Amino acid sequence: MTNSMDSTEEKEEHYKGWPNSHGFDPDFEVLEPVELQITGKIPQYAAGTLYRTGPGKRQVQADNGKVYTIDHWFDGFNQVHRFQIVSENGTIRAYYNSRMTVDNILQNIRRTGRLDGFTFAQKNDPCQSYFQKFQSLFFPATPPTPDDEKSSRNVGVTVAISMPGLSNSDGDKQKTSFLTLKTDATQMSRIHPETLEPIGLATQALLHPDLTGPLSAAHCKSDPVTGDIYNYNLDIGSSCTYRIFHVSARTGETRILAKFTGAGAYIHSLFLTADHVILCVWNSHYSMGGLKMLWEKNILDAIGDYDPSKPATWYVIHRREGGLLATYESPAFFSFHSVNAWVETKGGSSYIVAELAAYDNLDMLKRVYYENLMSNGKVAKSSGDQMANSARSTLRRYRLPAVPTSTNLKSKSKAKRIAVVEWTAPYDVSPELPTLNPNFLTIPHRYTYGIIDRAKSSLYDGLVKYDSLTKEAKYWEEFGHTPGEAIFIPDPNSKEEDGGVLLSVVFDGINDHSYLICLDARTMTELGRADVRGVVGFGFHGAFAPAVGSAQPQV
């Protein structure tokens, strides 16, 4: 659809409050790869496969004639997208296919007119029994049965291309010929890397029998050298138990590094240095230790009111020795995404530097109800000013001083350890869905990339490169175009931190179609784009697999 308005002023007035609703409820699925038209140039080193996951459609027509509608962006029905960038005789070509991964859920809604199971924020039927609710939250933590293999779960916040520790049907833990979709629970969905068809379900209990808690981080951390992964498992109750664990990419074995009790909270990500795993329990604490989820059947309604008087707690765990090295406190905040962490030494003392995207309260969780996001919704027209900066993130750097170097050298001082805020960037330069050059993970980095919210739309309005040294920012933006998470692809011939390109899926809300954009990571200028000729829903996260020798699309 091409807009007939002539002037920029008329377009901007007509699309005030962009993006439009089509990006939140697309009906676009391409099961077989199709070639995309490329304009401009995409560099040869960007050849590979980009996977994107997140909500596709949010409405389903039931057999009874009623339309079932999802309330919250985090609960949209999952769809996976696959972009292949192929180098053929020095020429770059691009292909696209996609698939909904929740066929059984959609079929059940069409048949019954309702959504069964556990969600992030959907309002549920209060007449369901306590036992039904318990079952939907704590589904059996055992290897998938034949029936499970045919079922689907609405899991798709993050995607892992090679998830160590999960077995294929032949029992070989070293082969991972499937993608793993994850969420903020211990359940995972495995899908085919080419057709994107669901293969089966898994839980963290398959990694280690002690990982029986229902909650975890959608963003596990991966060592940039070894590929080993680190995450937490949270067992809720009157006394909440955290287990920090490590999965070896070489052996597939899982080890529990630390176990401790603490306030149960919704924690979407954690930190990794070359020596430590850091779990920050920020201020999204569950009511009643999380037991409220059993009757609310969702996470958001089980999170208590934000209490600025309660400090955030930082737990530092030794990666190799295991064990809790130290605990820190900082003033209250909330976050989704960690950026990076590393160790520095000064005056013979080690300290941890950690960066994240911070919020002043929990307003962001409420801002992303669909009625607040859709530019043609009644609430979206007034919600922006009401939530203002409270629902916008700021890039923030913390320092955790005097970290013990070994579990045998713990400080005997009983003084409270404090995580100190070194700096906080302004809202208008602070990336969300933050990323960086992956070669700089666990070491000091200068540039952080991400989507940016400068209050120009009801969602996000551009991409940003933030320089933590000069405190300056560079942007890419186009009116009415809403970008998704940026993925950094390093240039193998560059030694500069910003030597590479960014890939992002962008929705053109004026002409109603999406495209894959390739930006120069140094200048934030466009190099090329590949037109999808359809609407890719506003998603969350992605992963990139570099090309391995083959010049042909994997169809």
Task: Convert the pLDDT of each residue in 28-58 to its tens digit.
Answer: 999 999 999 999 999 999 999 999 999 999 9
DSSP-H helix ranges across 7-153: 8-14, 103-112, 130-137, 146-150
Instruction: List all residues 6 or more positions away from 7 whose beta carbon is below 8 Å from its beta carbon.
Output: none
pLDDT at 9 over 70: no
∠ Cα 246 252 256 (to 5°): 25
100-122: average pLDDT:
90
pLDDT band at 478 (very low <50, low <70, confident <90, very high): very high
pLDDT tens digit sequence for 204-229: 999 999 999 999 999 999 999 999 99
3-class secondary structure per residue, 198-258: EEEEEEHHHCCCCCCCCEECCECEECCCCCCEEEEEEECCCCCEEEEEEECCCCCCEEEEE
Which is more confidently placed, 540 or 554? 540
Say how far apart CA 219 and CA 184 lie, in whole Å.
Answer: 8
517 pLDDT more than 50: yes
Say whether pLDDT at 4 is over 70. Answer: no
Please determine, for residue 392, whether its predicted confidence score (pLDDT) is greater than 70: yes
- Cβ 437 vs Cβ 490: under 8 Å: yes
Over 60: is that where the pLDDT of 329 sits?
yes
pLDDT at 256: 98
How much is the pLDDT for 19?
60
Say whether 268 counts as a known binding-site residue.
yes
Instruction: State the pTM of this model.
Output: 0.90
Q: Please name the residues in contact with 458: beta carbons below 8 A apart, sequence gap of 6 or more.
A: 17, 18, 19, 372, 373, 374, 375, 380, 383, 384
User: What single DSSP character describes residue 23?
Assistant: G
Amino acid 177: pLDDT: 72
Confidence tier at 519 by pLDDT (50, 70, 90) = very high
Mind listing the pLDDT tens digit for each residue in 287-313?
A: 988 888 887 888 999 999 999 999 999
Is 337 among the annotated ligand-binding positions? yes
Name the DSSP class of 46. Answer: G
Contacts (Cβ under 8 Å, ≥6 apart) of 65: none
HEC letters along 503-538:
EEEEEECCCCEEEEEEEECCCCCEEEEEECCCCCCC
* Preceding amide of 434 cis, omega within 30: no
Are 278 and 325 in contact, with CB atoms under 8 Å apart?
no
C-alpha 453/C-alpha 169 separation (Å) is 44
pLDDT given at position 411: 53
Q: What is the per-residue pLDDT for 90? A: 87
Residue boundaries of the structural domains of the chain: 15-126+148-205+369-393+432-554, 207-358+398-429
- Cβ–Cβ under 8 Å, residues 441 and 435: no
Q: What is the pLDDT of residue 457?
A: 77
According to DSSP, residue 174 is labeled: T
The annotation status of 541 as a binding-site residue, yes or no, is yes
Give the pLDDT band of residue 550 (cuts 50, 70, 90). very low
pLDDT: which is higher, 454 or 451 = 451
pLDDT band for 380, please (50, 70, 90 cuts). very low
Rounded to an integer, the average pLDDT of 361-365 is: 95
Average pLDDT over residues 69-95: 94
State the CB neighbour count (10 A cutoff) for residue 7: 8
pLDDT-derived band at 409, boundaries 50, 70, 90: low
The dihedral over CA atoms of 446, 452, 454, 457, expressed in degrees to the nearest 10, equals 170
As given in the structure block, the two tokens for residue 494 are 């560059």
Q: Is the pLDDT of residue 545 over 50?
A: yes
The Cα angle at residue 206 between residues 201 and 210, in degrees rounded to 5? 135
Mean pLDDT confidence for 398-403: 95
Of the chain, the percentage scoring pLDDT greater than 70 comes to 84
Nearest to 276 by CA among 397, 412, 405, 437: 405
Nearest to 434 by CA among 473, 470, 469: 473
* Residue 285 counted as an annotated binding residue: no
Residue 170, pLDDT above cutoff 80: no
What is the chain's mean pLDDT, rounded?
86
Q: Please compute the mean of the pLDDT values over residues 410-435 and round it to a whole number.
A: 87
Q: For a pLDDT cut of 90, what percent of the chain falls above it?
A: 70
pLDDT at 172 exceeding the cut of 70:
no
Over residues 133-157, mean pLDDT: 52
To the nearest 10°, report the CA torsion of 158, 162, 167, 168. 100
**Token output for 340:** 């990076």
Q: Which distant-in-sequence residues (6+ apart) come within 8 Å of 358 by Cβ?
A: 333, 334, 335, 393, 394, 395, 396, 424
pLDDT at 297: 83
Q: How wide is the angle at C-alpha 228 spanned by C-alphas 226 and 232, nearest 5°?
A: 155
Tell me what the mean pLDDT of segment 385-404 comes to.
84
